Structure 1
């Protein structure tokens, strides 16, 4: 029998919901490109419920315990003596979300003597040390595409919020004011601007498709160039590198995974080559940008705005400079954890567990590491040092 250790974020401050704003969710059975949504044998939850917090348990408890397995769910993942560290040594499976990541460092992987499978409930497995997982033969899987469109929608929202100066204008209303000049002094139209994405995979391409109707000029850079018909359809300009693209753009959105080639990419040097007054959106991973360089660029006016929902570490400490820097639109890491997305990544987590527990192959598109090497989606999107 397996021990499954699941790390989820805390319940709402006023308790686990007893009712929800909506009664149902739209039914989605496939993603753009044709990949089907998760297909577990069954689910023990109602789509639209809060599944990503501790009490939601990703809807897994009944399924696992009725089969004789052990499920431990906690939000306590950091610091000496955390529940995660205490339960890890004999865990067979670790499940974590990018929004409240349980960092599987080389030291933790070495201490987890029984660990065989690390599942990301969502997408983005950089909280797992890929090289250590490869060295120790740990399979790493994520629920590919489950929340890609959720993140893409968040990118579009943040882009418009910054360019149109929405958040400060909303604050004027909350504070009882009505100074129109204060609101519009930093408000522009998105129409006609040049918008570029760093990476045009599932999320990046979805962002481009959603922004095209705004009559913007679209740019992208990616290690894998898109088909010519897609470039022609959306009017895309391809650039060989991020460095070559960003000087042309009024808005840059980062949609790349974190790996050695992207870590620290947006530092003082690259930010200085961007148009003065450009906007930077980062819903990918915080360490793709230099924390303090972004703060400086905003205070000095090189950037007109920065928005995103990824921080390092997560949760971010109270004194993190991004909480107080000017002209930002930061949120907690929520872009991929809408209730709609949770229904998909909870179902996908169960699908992965069903396959692994039964000794069946895990979907190739869910795999990041298997058999001591990058595999499936991981071989396409990640890089390893070993």
Structure 2
């Protein structure tokens, strides 16, 4: 088993910790006010601090710092985060720094939601700042200053997050392109090595094999000519050596044609340098995989990795290849968001066609919040055995 561990210090993770640091500023100020000044802090401290801790936990769930339950959607967590921010500002309107939590929510939702939705929610949050400050008896000038300041802070946070989101998307597309390039290189190397091995085996069979057969026949004729000659013993030895050499050449040709394709090394190369997903690869080959079937398996794994990186929001991808006397079975699962309805695009359709061409099947399973799985199977065939026999019995 080969398990590839990747760094989780991604763009989103950095932004998550920056958001947590920003959210901690109001908490530190409230704590200092409650302990070192006469303000006394929130009217209901246990409610405020409980809501703040829940705010931080929700933020960590959204960004994946804490493991998010599969059935809990990010959109639902974002709504909860915004509601908690409104509650925290409303519970302690005397402290204007609490409105920084709206900057955190604006930046966070900008990483997931469209611009139009972010603008509407940010405007509503800015209006909430004005309403809360006015209800707390702030002077009009301070209310207007708060509206202007925190409105602009939200715009700044949203713009920064949209820029980071674009960078993250670009990195993701680059990683996908890199994975596809590695897959193509691995396939090219595998097929080139297989083609070279077959070429050498054909050359040995066609050239050395035929020449040694002709030499054996000539020595056989010579042995009849020099039947009573003292050199007959040496001719017989030469004939035996030629026949033994011919058998060795035939065995070498057969062995080269039957040499298994090393698919595990190629699959491991696909899992390398994928930072956004932890990929686990296991290959159990009690029966060697043919070159033709290896290409099908490689293309299937490549498409699964690409789909996982682009669509699933998964943290882990498990790949299991079983090859035995019954055939080949490919099982690929991830822990992503999944989908209640699976629509086969060009990638999955092409994957299924490859398996069906080899006489196999492809099954795709998914549920909302329960990840995505692909199970492909190719039945055993006697084609390879028949081909090897024909090579072995050839002169």
So what's the TM-score if we normalise by structure 1? 0.29
Structure 1 or 2: more helix by fraction: 2
Q: Which has the higher contact order (CA 8 A, sep 6+)?
A: 1
So what's the TM-score if we normalise by structure 2? 0.28
